[in-house]
Structure 1
């Protein structure tokens, strides 16, 4: 399946992999979650109308607070920004699509079905009620025992998996597919903001993924990372905020990119200090990982480290000052057009400045002791996150003509802005005035009641303002004026050089900036040969280029066209959702009996249907994964492109590098958690849980399997089908041997020595938790590698990989990484 049905067909939206379609799906879905999270917010504000109000019970109020925070931060703000990133980044860099179109579709469907899982959690005995930061020990079953709580955590896990796919895709696309002549410093500011964002996401969301897996193990398998360890709460704080503070900039940077574009367009001026703005963005991206501990000033961390974190926190404000001054000076030197997009961008700047100033108070240790846990934090947080994201609303109006070919109603747009701005400040500035109100608590000092009532009115005004936007855009889409290619006087990015909306494959010919300006070049393509440059007379030229004879860039008149449709991203995501829904029902009150041995592991369910969903979902996952691999889907690389700093690296290999970099952080978080807990428990009090001989044998087995993968690549180079089959088969046998030894070892420890992760079992549950969960994660990676190796073996049996051995090379990168991880785990669990 490669051809797209028409946009009027439901099937089109289930199978599309085109970046513009995915962008529209992200936009519509994120706006739905805005309404979902907004309803939760209005319930909170109604509860705060009167300190004696009990519209919601205490538990329901906590669920509303948690759901509102999770939905707005994860399911609205970031996807809202990446709706524009999906649609416009390929256009701005001169690409036909993102590097991996099916991966892009997968990231969207993972996002959607994770949101469905979150919605279902309300009907599983109640959703999570631990606050959106999910602080330990409130996040463990003892305090949030419902199935819905586990369902919400697994929904967030699924969301992060989709984010990882999207991150790898955007990094590969921007670094591999920029048009000829577009250097890294020449990219539009919106694309620059997305590049910085996805670099932060690559590492920050990997830490969150690790935290979600560890928390999932605590809830589903019964491990005791966060419930029975002396430093469990502190461990969660480190893992969460190592993600959580970069997340502030992950949310803000795309909005900043929109701000930078709009300020240039509607002032008629190039950005003042553009080079320094880019440097400031890079500095902030790096520094964002060095300030997380200021969220933990009230913990037992020693004062010296807190002081260091205070200094880094204050330091990160300096590049932000540069950004603000650059924006202001750009306006001062321009002729401003007060359109709706500009008003929202300018309003975002004002709101963010106030949010940033109030955040400096929280960066000081002494003041943080006073303000922490109050509505001052809530107000600051919303002025930064939602205030900055106000620019994204401006982005909706700015790019609406390009996406639809229609102009919005300017008068209604300005009414929307005024209503939004007044409602925003009414609800959130009132929180500064009533800052002594404890956060997440609905009973407060009656003296603050008038202020909270004003905030509630403001919340309804703010929520109502979005319906003005919905009406405006719907009316304009149906009966608005034609916008033409470019309705703005001073826009300067490439998306405005094509029709509105853009055609399926974006460009009439290959876009190029080699001459210093955007041009469309028609390349000369010999019959059966690679694409080559053509001069103005259509004759081939041979200087430069990065053409691959086995990957011809497909234009409409060439033999092979790019694929734009696949059902398997949807199917794979649906299977994942079904599996996680089934998994959410485990570890509850009624024992799920498959013999006493399984019951001893702590796997329990309240409804026998949950195991059915889990098994069906797992089988569907394997089936859809195989069908994905067998599908004939063609996504050609850009033949002539700027690829610094990855010149000469093929796009799939580059994507694999980025994925493995993320996985390094995942395992790094697991190993760091093990070391942290061991230090808290007393390093010298622990002895290895198991004998070192099985681990030593397994180390030898895995290292040998790495060698056989190398031999498989050599055999493919030599065109030896039998050699490929023999060496891949040996790798599979060695991998299975590793798993068999590991399973024997686990069986021996659990059933002969009584070492389990149950807090009531014989042995040390803390040490056992770390051992089983960490080596179990590695085992899952081994199983995944064996499934891939089995697929490669099947394809090699059919004669594949002799002409193109790159799939074996990419599998080798993954397998070598898995083996290297074991080299670190072996001494940690078997020797020290």
Structure 2
């Protein structure tokens, strides 16, 4: 019997698959018509109808809804800009907007759609569905989940503010150097847009760490990686790509912010290789971003195909393997975006091969979806129509993309509307699949069914509008990108595209009307409205109760069952098994009352699990105010006059709010999901917190790697030995050597603190942490004295001193070591907080917080061991 005929994926309804893909319901699974839970102001969480709930909630389902609604707002924002562009392109020339206005519309449309709509829209579903699919009560770190949303919203608000600061960024959504420098985009709003994107990336990193920890550590027993639903697989691979790709973008944005705010010279036209440096950093992120955007859509499409074809995906294991292969390959194709930059033919050929090679796993996935349709019995519902439409659009987008992977053809098509058309067939093709996901999970999220007729009208308008908008761009491919002038002979094709754009916009109005109307008047849905849905979210009420499941989910018997904690703990290796493989802890019991209400849970510490915290919102607000204040900086100082005073005041207030909120959140009594958890391979012996720290440090490796890579790239471009002429003789080895000894000693002090904690010595813990803190201060003081000395060097070669903007050598030295110094400052704040707690007796019965801090501090020390020889010896 083939893999497809003998599924290893557990069925959410606890049944076995029929030959036609159907389900035989059986076992002890929760009935699909189980009553929904009543949510009141329990667990510190206000009821759904309360506005306050949406400001304080940390529940993954609420956060998923917030992400979805906010992303749809940014769809409207970016869509309006797109319609303005299409109206401008009705005829050649700037007839509606001025040239700079058009450039702003193009740039902001790209940035908003790629960053503030596409990925957050997908992660609205991920937040809502993934914990349900893997049998988790919530994400591993609920407050960090809320924080990632509020940082996302704050970044979007900051992006909106940029339009009112003399104009937003106008250098294209790829922000190519040197157009990203103030000399070409001098508006304060340009800097605000860069800072908004930086804040967005910070939120993405927080979310990535959270999802990776959750999926790897909190799956129900029997829910092995091999058995995970395809949507969860797509999210797992997406967040792995996000963890590393967005770290590279974060580095690029920090370097760009340094240039725009502090006057450094990474991407200045006078710096050797500045334009190429940006291209490498941006596209190392940019090409994985294509798959970061498309993978969640692919996972949603796979779930929809399975449900509405009545059978599981053909070649499921190969489908998963193909996704894994694409995720890995996505990091070795970035240079095909740079074929016209003068890189040698051998490198071009290598990246042409990797680019064409990455299309092969996609071929496998496309054929798997096609064969699933051929072997199943299709039900043409609205979700399936959008999923099928997304597949067809992606096929065309993928084929046209292979053209661009060939060096010779890329020479012709690069910079034309061929790229625009290909890009939108892929990216907006992914949106098509996600809209199918919105219709698919709408009953689960709301407990109401959408209007099927309006859904099909929505699809018809969408599909017609989409192809009328983007397909003419292939024909009018000679139109230059990001330019409002084009050959008059192409006018008719652009007019067709403009008509298509407005039809596409109208389709979204139908969608919004349908969903809003159905939210109140739709047919009630209690459990599973889809006959062949096979994942766990459909085995519980719609919408799910606060705690998700009436007990501990388990797939130990090959079907989904729910067990009480006591029963699971006594079953000898069931779903209540402790994460470390030891005895099960008392994770609490969830029972269904006769009225269908689910009672609360008690954690293993006797505390009710928390679902509300105001501090993620406050941190997001503080970050917004702080970065708005910093946007008023130019060349290291704030703009003059009253306006500058406003920016300074906001920076100060934002800093106070941010620091205070972080401390308050650290001191807050908040009890997240407690065990027992089930499957945790390959991290079974690692706690959630430790895995989270490891994942954060992994992204930090890429961040520092990008900074160090920028130094090496700039030095090679200038000349490795000639570089020494850019450095004053006063830049000596001794200060760096002293700091090396200081940091190594401080790491040893952290080890002593851990030993003292294990021995129960309060004074030993306090003394060791104080030693670490004092040595960290000494490091910063020594570094500050060195910088002060170098700033005021007066020699024939450097009559104005050697500061951040003197040359590319000074820029790389100060910014890279400054980033490291910032990490030291963060470590000292944590150490000071821990000293206060240790003095009050903390950490004597739990040394793990000291170990987590030690991981961070040792990493900071190891980074310095790389920076010292690079900047002081070589």
Scaled by the length of structure 1, what TM-score is found?
Answer: 0.95
Consecutive unaligned residues of structure 1, counting only runs of 5 or more, are 526-530, 594-603
In structure 2, C-alpha distance between the alignment counterparts of 1:674 and 1:700, rounded to whole Å: 24
1:361 corresponds to which of 390, 403, 409 = 403
SS in 2 for 1:237: helix
Q: 1:312 to 1:190 in 2, by over 3 A?
A: same
Q: Does 1:644 align with 2:681?
A: yes
**Aligned position for 2:872:** 830
Equivalent residues of 1:406, 1:481 under 8 A apart? yes
Moved over 3 A (4+): 533-536, 539-555, 588-593, 752-764
SS in 2 for 1:126: coil
2:813 corresponds to which of 761, 771, 779 = 771
In structure 1, C-alpha distance between the alignment counterparts of 2:577 and 2:810, rounded to whole Å: 63
**Aligned position for 1:328:** 370
**Aligned position for 1:79:** 120
- Map 1:790-805 → 2, pairs under 5 A: 790-805=832-847
SS in 2 for 1:213: helix
In structure 2, C-alpha distance between the alignment counterparts of 1:752 and 1:61, rounded to whole Å: 46
In structure 2, C-alpha distance between the alignment counterparts of 1:766 and 1:540, rounded to whole Å: 57
Of 686-695 and 423-432, the range deviating more from structure 2: 686-695
Equivalent residues of 1:637, 1:651 under 8 A apart? no
Q: 1:452 to 1:406 in 2, by over 3 A?
A: same
Equivalent residues of 1:759, 1:765 under 8 A apart? no
Q: CA deviation at 1:764?
A: 4.9
SS in 2 for 1:245: helix
**Aligned position for 2:68:** 27
Equivalent residues of 2:802, 2:810 under 8 A apart? no
Q: 1:270 to 1:698 in 2, by over 3 A?
A: same
Equivalent residues of 1:45, 1:456 under 8 A apart? yes
SS in 2 for 1:298: helix
In structure 2, C-alpha distance between the alignment counterparts of 1:451 and 1:813, rounded to whole Å: 59
- Map 1:88-127 → 2, pairs under 5 A: 88-127=129-168
In structure 1, C-alpha distance between the alignment counterparts of 2:356 and 2:313, rounded to whole Å: 26
- Tell me the matched-pair count: 815
Q: 1:541 to 1:640 in 2, by over 3 A?
A: closer
In structure 1, C-alpha distance between the alignment counterparts of 2:429 and 2:680, rounded to whole Å: 35
In structure 1, C-alpha distance between the alignment counterparts of 2:579 and 2:260, rounded to whole Å: 56
Q: CA deviation at 1:484?
A: 2.2
In structure 2, C-alpha distance between the alignment counterparts of 1:541 and 1:636, rounded to whole Å: 14
Structure 1, residues 55-83: CA drift from partner, whole Å, max 9, x if none?
00000000000000000000000000000
Q: CA deviation at 1:640?
A: 3.2
In structure 2, C-alpha distance between the alignment counterparts of 1:691 and 1:565, rounded to whole Å: 53
Q: Does 1:677 align with 2:718?
A: no
Q: CA deviation at 1:303?
A: 1.1
**Aligned position for 2:515:** 473
- Map 1:719-798 → 2, pairs under 5 A: 719-753=760-794, 764-798=806-840
Of 287-296 and 613-622, the range deviating more from structure 2: 613-622
Structure 1, residues 223-256: CA drift from partner, whole Å, max 9, x if none?
1000031100000000000000000000000000
Q: Does 1:159 align with 2:196?
A: no
Q: CA deviation at 1:549?
A: 8.1
**Aligned position for 1:215:** 256
Q: 1:197 to 1:589 in 2, by over 3 A?
A: closer
**Aligned position for 2:5:** none
Structure 1, residues 639-674: CA drift from partner, whole Å, max 9, x if none?
131011111100000000000000000000000000
Q: Does 1:69 align with 2:115?
A: no
Q: Does 1:587 align with 2:628?
A: no
In structure 2, C-alpha distance between the alignment counterparts of 1:545 and 1:807, rounded to whole Å: 18
Equivalent residues of 1:719, 1:802 under 8 A apart? yes
**Aligned position for 1:186:** 227
Equivalent residues of 1:147, 1:588 under 8 A apart? no
Q: CA deviation at 1:606?
A: 5.2
Q: Does 1:820 align with 2:862?
A: yes
Q: 1:196 to 1:89 in 2, by over 3 A?
A: same
Q: 1:76 to 1:763 in 2, by over 3 A?
A: closer
In structure 2, C-alpha distance between the alignment counterparts of 1:571 and 1:588, rounded to whole Å: 30
Q: Does 1:622 align with 2:663?
A: no
Equivalent residues of 2:601, 2:609 under 8 A apart? no
- Map 1:264-343 → 2, pairs under 5 A: 264-343=306-385
Q: 1:750 to 1:592 in 2, by over 3 A?
A: farther
In structure 2, C-alpha distance between the alignment counterparts of 1:66 and 1:756, rounded to whole Å: 39
**Aligned position for 1:576:** 623
In structure 1, C-alpha distance between the alignment counterparts of 2:495 and 2:110, rounded to whole Å: 21
Q: CA deviation at 1:759?
A: 11
SS in 1 for 2:566: coil
- Map 1:163-182 → 2, pairs under 5 A: 163-182=204-223
In structure 2, C-alpha distance between the alignment counterparts of 1:8 and 1:543, rounded to whole Å: 37
In structure 1, C-alpha distance between the alignment counterparts of 2:578 and 2:718, rounded to whole Å: 64
- Map 1:551-566 → 2, pairs under 5 A: 552=587, 555=590, 556=600, 558=602, 559-566=606-613
Equivalent residues of 1:272, 1:327 under 8 A apart? yes
Q: CA deviation at 1:637?
A: 3.4
**Aligned position for 1:517:** 559
Q: 1:585 to 1:553 in 2, by over 3 A?
A: farther
1:232 corresponds to which of 263, 274, 294 = 274
**Aligned position for 1:706:** 747
Structure 1, residues 479-533: CA drift from partner, whole Å, max 9, x if none?
11112200001000000011000000100000000011100011218xxxxx823
Q: CA deviation at 1:763?
A: 9.0
**Aligned position for 2:391:** 349
Q: 1:71 to 1:758 in 2, by over 3 A?
A: farther
Q: CA deviation at 1:552?
A: 4.2
Structure 1, residues 340-363: CA drift from partner, whole Å, max 9, x if none?
000000000000000000001100
In structure 2, C-alpha distance between the alignment counterparts of 1:285 and 1:328, rounded to whole Å: 22
In structure 1, C-alpha distance between the alignment counterparts of 2:645 and 2:497, rounded to whole Å: 46
In structure 2, C-alpha distance between the alignment counterparts of 1:663 and 1:757, rounded to whole Å: 37
Structure 1, residues 12-39: CA drift from partner, whole Å, max 9, x if none?
0000000000000000000000000000
Of 556-565 and 303-312, the range deviating more from structure 2: 556-565
Q: 1:408 to 1:540 in 2, by over 3 A?
A: closer
Q: 1:702 to 1:60 in 2, by over 3 A?
A: same
Structure 1, residues 699-739: CA drift from partner, whole Å, max 9, x if none?
00001000000100110101110000000000000000000
**Aligned position for 1:528:** none
SS in 1 for 2:562: strand
In structure 2, C-alpha distance between the alignment counterparts of 1:114 and 1:190, rounded to whole Å: 27
Equivalent residues of 1:255, 1:392 under 8 A apart? yes
In structure 2, C-alpha distance between the alignment counterparts of 1:162 and 1:264, rounded to whole Å: 33
Q: CA deviation at 1:396?
A: 0.8
Q: 1:105 to 1:753 in 2, by over 3 A?
A: farther
**Aligned position for 2:535:** 493
Consecutive unaligned residues of structure 2, counting only runs of 5 or more, are 1-41, 591-599
Q: CA deviation at 1:576?
A: 0.7
